[in-house]
Every structure is written in structure tokens, then in C-alpha cells.
Amino acid sequence: MHSERKKIVTPGLSIVTGVPASGGVVSGPVRLVRGVDDFDTVEPGDVIVCRTTDPSWTVLLGLAAAVVTETGGILSHAAIVAREYGIPAVVAVEGAMAALADHRLVSVDGTGGHIRALARSEVDAAPSDVATRHERQVPDDSRLM
């Protein structure tokens, strides 16, 4: 008989790591996006976690606090657009879609390439150099709308 075990995630420890692609550290809830059908589930300040992105995702990334992809490198679409928007990005994160649960509070370190679990109290008491979802501002550029 096969029994399923739940993975216990300890706050503060890296859940997954990947290639740092756009610097900065932010915290927010994970939003798993499998494709364009999931775009309407993304809210401002979410951490978008997906397999990959393409130009149709550009406006969506403007809402995000950060982006984490399972594929790509520093010249991938997600990395370039994240740098343009000034949000952290970690790419080539093997198994990110399976390891990160929807709505889980995480910290994304786009400089070091780490995605860490957070407890609710850590988000409320974030240090001043860590942007939280309410501090994220989308560039005011009518060409993106």
C-alpha cells in the first residue's frame, strides 16, 4: 500500500533554487499560472510561478511582485521583462510548479536565486529593504495597456 506524505516546509528555508535573473527580494503569495486560461486569477503583488512565458505574458508580469519559471536563462522572456519592470525573477527552477503551492507565502530572492517559505508574521514584519506586495508599483506606460 502506497501512502502519500505531505512535504513539510519550514519557514525561512529555501523551498527551491534556480538561476537569478532579475535582482531584488520581495514577498507575496504564489500564483501558479499554467497558461493564458489562468491569467485572470493573478492579482497585483502575486508571485507568478509558471513553466515559461512569452510576449502574451508581458502585461501580466506588470501586476506581479516577482516571477519564477521552470525553464529559461538570463536572456529568456521572463528575465528580460522582469528586469524592465524592476521585479525579481528566478528562472530554471526545476520542479517549481510542483514544489510551490498556490497562495503559499514566499520570499523571492532574484539576486541569489532562492525561493523561501514565509510565515504570515514574517510578511507583516518584513525589513524595510524587502518590498511587500503593497509597495510594488507598476510603471505608468500606456503602451502596455
* pLDDT value at residue 119: 81
Query: What are 84's three cell numbers?
Result: 524592465
Per-position pLDDT tens, the chain of length 145: 444 434 445 556 789 999 999 999 999 999 999 999 999 999 999 999 999 999 999 999 999 999 999 999 999 999 999 999 999 999 999 999 999 999 999 999 999 999 999 986 555 555 444 554 444 444 444 444 4
* pLDDT value at residue 120: 66
For 4, 6, 51, the CA distances from 1, given in Å and listed in that order, are 10, 16, 32
* pLDDT value at residue 18: 97
Can you tell me the distance from the alpha carbon of 137 to that of 134, in angstroms, rounded to the nearest whole number? Answer: 8
Residue 77 falls in the annotated catalytic set: yes
Candidate list 77, 103, 114, 134, residue with the active-site label: 77
